[in-house]
Structure 1
């Protein structure tokens, strides 16, 4: 028994110091030697869940619930039942989750006096309303949960209620108030006042909502904090995958696409290991990088995997359909997603909606969406929402025949994207400025803007966008082949189209095979191609084989 007590002490110490695997091992050993009291069973369950042993953790938390009932601690038994419902809800065990919530409610009803668990049980009810299209109703229920939690000074439930209140407020269109609530709840998290599971829930939800509100500064700050939090718990699986998915999004926005792909892969691995909520972000961000690089088949598969999470992979999938030339499908997808979304999510979809409506030729619909995005700037003027709004407005102005006004608006958007460090959107703005210049008769400035945009796209590895910028650059250059290739690259392309291998091409042009391979890689990148067959077809279709 002495050995069991020593193991318990070591397990509790490791738990307090966030050494989850060590805590798990000590608690498990102590349990085998002499059993664990209910509070330590709860700690063991938490350590199991955090390290990806979700099924074992649920079983252990069930034991804790039963042990509390044996000793007559009904309130603690109800708390365990409530958290069992929460964990099962996250892992897709809907029926079991509902059963545990029902049991928790029955136990609370049996108590002679109110308890904090009443507030905990309101959280899933409010979440159902929040994601079921009733943010106003959710706001009211989260308020009730907060009042109960505050009465009993339960910091975990207070903070989860504030988180939900912030989410509902954001969905109702008041970004300023919602983000202030997120900042408030993050104070409790970063101060270490909360239990580990609520802390992780709040970290990940707040960062996702900052992205939704176009608040890149907050997203960066809280992602860095989450990264430090996860780094101090290196054996933690739960929430670590979501951290990697958030990192992937930031890497992608800032043009570090290889790093974004690596973080997305890490998120996928951690999702498979037990961080189920990382599934969507891991695959969606991978799909975004693949789409931007022109790896369309891979992107479609990544979006399909992301869709298995239950969340629709938009606007990425709609933009992929646009890139593949299926404008009607793109328009249908993005319109349906925007019409079904809450206000915050709809605003997040508006830049893609404007781009797709313009591609479909519906300038009036694009103008309505651009004006709607401008309203978001009035509500919450972050640099990112301003940049997106100016870019959308400028693109529509070009289509409306107002190129001079468009130039001013687009240059402001370009400046904001550059200051934010978002190179892909900055390059897109540069190309749009070129279109505005050309429409106003300034072809020399237009060509310079197109060249600059193409160079930036090439540096990123954005093959489809580079090919688009090149096509704009040469669109009004009579007598020249409509291609961005250098004379040497054209020679290499002609020989590739003739079916000649790299070794033969190197011999004919007096180059090394390594140099030929580099030329072919540049040809693929500039033209948005992925194979010699595609390059051969391009050469014949554009009259470049002579």
Structure 2
């Protein structure tokens, strides 16, 4: 896939694989510039409208904005075929999904920071090279496609100031290299353009003095003083006055010394650490990772900051960087004899490897943490160790009894030590285990309580993500999409309060499924593709889940080739590709392959399990197409038992539709119609438009076989209207 680069330090340019593409008219270019300026952030329609039209927008501004967004998406899709969507729609606005390194302004800021760091360490040649590279990114005036007198005026001024300060820093670096004679002509031109800027005046004086032109250096001071007095009525600042005195007495401090060897600069490292702390506080994982990595290059990080680097790397999708940083933290704590720190790092490594699917390594780190904490009693670290062991027992080993005991013990420790994250996650673990054991009401009550604490800002970011993801996983297994949708909306509001651009990683996978089920297929695919990109090197299995969602969306649209490719990628990452792939084969007319796939998938899952329940409706549909009523009936029987056990209305809808389909094949159209009407009612109650349309089409067939053409036509027309609204392909109808 070719790289996409956005350039806003001058007229807008979009490069795909190094070649420019067209992006529309002036307003569309201005819109993309606004989005690129705050990449990754949600910009409200009001803010974008103000940026495009100022304080007097046209009455049609909202509709026109939506048109511009559509045009930009089309231009990017045509210019970069196959690339993931970059302009995303969110609940309260739009965002450009591109890392800061893909925006020239973002690269400029990073390079300037690196150049300033090198300058502070007196590595003058390195500083000069990096700062020249940064300045070379400019191709004209900043944000040239925006009105310089409009809403972007302050941002344009900021970028212009940053450019000038970077230029001053580069000249400082050149002076440090001994290139004083070379910079004199450049400084003379700059002083003429910026006559009141004292930094440039001071640099010109120093360059002239070092070039053996002492009289001209003093004359430059007098001309600067005369201008300041005449224009502003003030004397030069202390820097210029002190420099004049040093020149008059030929102070040896002004001589250019040989460049010293590279040394660590504590102030530079401390400044970067402070930047990282600010970034972490607002969940700016990319900014935190960048600052901590550069601080580490300046001076090796201590174990505590290595843990923070690991956290930023994990959220930023850098799994290997996360593990490397946490391994260094473990080694640092262990060398210091810090048992709590060593155990905490070991537990973090166990979780990291669990997410990566390296379960043997995960268990190894659990064993190491257990040995370190042996005999220490009830501590926060021991509580988190028990929490990881709960996850292993429940999610990996399927030992629900042990998992329930561990969750209860974790909760008790969380309460004893006053650790809120531990309390809430243990509460939720207990809830999801109870749900699995069939205690639906009690379990979901605990899960809802935990989620209320989550959106109420009681938890840190990791615990927040765990709580949301586990809630949606449980709702998904129960087909309780209404509850999942409600908590997803609540989490969207949480994200916006914290200036988050969306759900991190795994959470985004489940958001994509909710969007698909609600009929928002374009948004669902955008979200799933983004999740897949984020997760492939952190939690590969869930990257597979994301690709499975892409496949399900493409299958419904009718793009069967793209759906098959998505299912293939899901399978490569460890996600079982059925029932989606089996239903795809059915749509392609290969009933034998479909039947073989779905039966193999169902046979691999435990009877009456929630995971198996998700595959049984597809097995009924494919078995009927294959003419195997026996498999269809046995599948329905198991569906009815599972539905009765968990009491899910969506499961009941699937059962009613499956039973109706069987009755229709058995030439009992009136009985079929009765069951399918119930399915339509339940699907509609659950707000699942595609499922409603599929059931309506089955109901139309039932009425037609019963000789009721009037009702058959009504249901068929309603189904086709829904398919058209959703964008479902004709060959799926």
TM-score by length of 1: 0.76
Tell me if structure 2 keeps the 8 A contact 1:20–1:235.
no
Out of 120, 135, 140, the position equivalent to 2:405 is: 140
Q: Please, which of 681, 686, 690 is the counterpart of residue 424 of structure 1? A: 690
1:4-62 deviations in Å (ceiling 9; x for gaps): 55554443343233233343444445555555443333223212222223323322222
Other structure's SS at 2:720 match: helix
Q: CA deviation at 1:433?
A: 1.3
Aligned to 2:551: 287
Q: 2:638 aligns with which of 372, 378, 398?
A: 372
Q: Within 5 Å, which residues of 2 pair with 1:206-285?
A: 206-230=471-495, 240-272=504-536, 274=538, 276=540, 278-285=542-549
The CA deviation at 1:275 is 5.7
Q: Which residue of 1 aligns with 2:319?
A: 54
Equivalent residue number for residue 419 of structure 2: 154
Q: Which residue of 2 aligns with 1:192?
A: 457
Q: How big is the shift at 1:244?
A: 3.4
Does residue 181 (structure 1) correspond to residue 446 (structure 2)? The answer is: yes
1:453 aligns with 2:453: no
Cα offset, 1:306, TM superposition = 0.7
The SS at the match of 1:405 is helix
Kept in 2, the 8 Å contact 1:48–1:56? The answer is yes
Identify if the C-alpha distance between structure 1 residues 291 and 386 changes in structure 2 by more than 3 Å, giving closer, same or farther: same
Pair 18,294 (structure 1): closer, same or farther in 2 beyond 3 Å: closer
Is 1:412–2:678 an aligned residue pair?
Answer: yes
CA contact 2:557–2:728 (8 Å) conserved in 1: yes
Report the counterpart of residue 477 of structure 1 in structure 2: none
1:442-501 CA distances to partner (integer Å, 9 max, x unpaired)? 2343244334433433443333xx4475xxxxxxxxxxxxxxxxxxxxxxxxxxxxxxxx
Q: Is 2:286 the partner of 1:21?
A: yes
| Distance change (3 Å), C-alpha of 1:229 and 1:55 | farther
Q: Report the alpha carbon displacement of residue 161 of structure 1 after superposing the two structures with TM.
A: 3.0
Q: Give yes or no for contact 1:377–1:385 (8 Å, CA) kept in 2.
A: yes
Distance change (3 Å), C-alpha of 1:307 and 1:174: farther
Partner Cα distance (1:165, 1:255) in 2:
33
User: Mean alpha-carbon deviation: is it higher for 409-418 or for 82-91?
Assistant: 409-418
Partner residue in 1 for 2:594:
330
Cross-structure match for 1:303: 567
State the aligned residue count: 465
Rate the CA distance shift 1:37–1:269 in 2: closer, same or farther, 3 A. Answer: closer
User: Residues of 2 paired with 1:272 and 1:393: CA distance?
Assistant: 40
Aligned to 2:88: none
| Aligned positions of 1:466-505 closer than 5 A | 466-467=730-731
Change (3 A) 1:275 1:226: farther
**Does the aligned pair in 1 maintain the 2:672–2:702 contact within 8 Å?**
yes
Q: What corresponds to 1:385 in structure 2?
A: 651
- Segments of 4+ in structure 1 off by > 6 A? 233-237
Task: Confirm or deny: 8 A CA contact 1:126 1:138 kept in the other structure.
Answer: yes
1:105 to 351, 370, 373: 370
8 Å Cα contact 2:282-2:499 kept in structure 1: no
Change over 3 Å in CA distance of 1:361–1:129 after alignment to 2: farther
Secondary structure of 2:340 counterpart: helix
- Residues 456 and 429 (structure 1), Cα distance of their counterparts in 2 relative to 1, 3 Å cut: same
Contact 1:20-1:236 within 8 A present in 2 as well: no
Deviations 1:485-534 (A, max 9, x none): xxxxxxxxxxxxxxxxxxxxxxxxxxxxxxxxxxxxxxxxxxxxxxxxxx
For the residue of structure 1 that corresponds to 2:614, the secondary structure is helix
Separation in 1, partners of 2:308, 2:523: 35
Q: Which residue number corresponds to residue 246 of structure 2?
A: none
CA distance in 2, matches of 1:253, 1:432: 19
Greater fraction helix: 1
Q: State how far apart, in whole Å, the 1-side matches of 2:627 and 2:439 are.
A: 32
**Worse overlay, 194-203 or 280-289:** 194-203
Structure 2 distance, partners of 1:81, 1:228, is: 34
Equivalent position of 1:45 in the other structure: 310
**3-state SS of paired residue (1:252):** helix
Structure 1: gaps of 5 or more residues: 470-546
Shift of 1:312: 0.9
- Work out which of the residue numbers 92, 105, 115 in structure 1 matches 2:357: 92
Deviation at 1:315, TM superposition (A): 1.5
Comparing 79-88 with 95-104, greater Cα deviation is found at 95-104
Aligned CA RMSD, in angstroms, stands at 3.0
Deviations 1:211-251 (A, max 9, x none): 221111111122223444455667889x6233432232223
Distance in 1, Cα, partners of 2:399 & 2:561: 37
Larger displacement relative to structure 2 (25-34 or 181-190): 25-34
Q: Does 1:76 align with 2:341?
A: yes
CA contact 2:269–2:295 (8 Å) conserved in 1: yes
Distance, in Å, in 1 between the alignment partners of 2:517 and 2:428 is 26
Q: Could you state the TM-score of these two structures normalised by the residue count of structure 2?
A: 0.58
Match of 1:65 in 2: 330
CA distance in 2, matches of 1:44, 1:358: 55
Residue in 1 aligned with 2:384?
Answer: 120
Please give the secondary structure, in 2, of the residue aligned with 1:385. helix
Q: Conserved in 1, the CA contact under 8 Å of 2:650 and 2:683?
A: yes
- Higher-Rg structure is 2
* Matching residue of 1:489: none
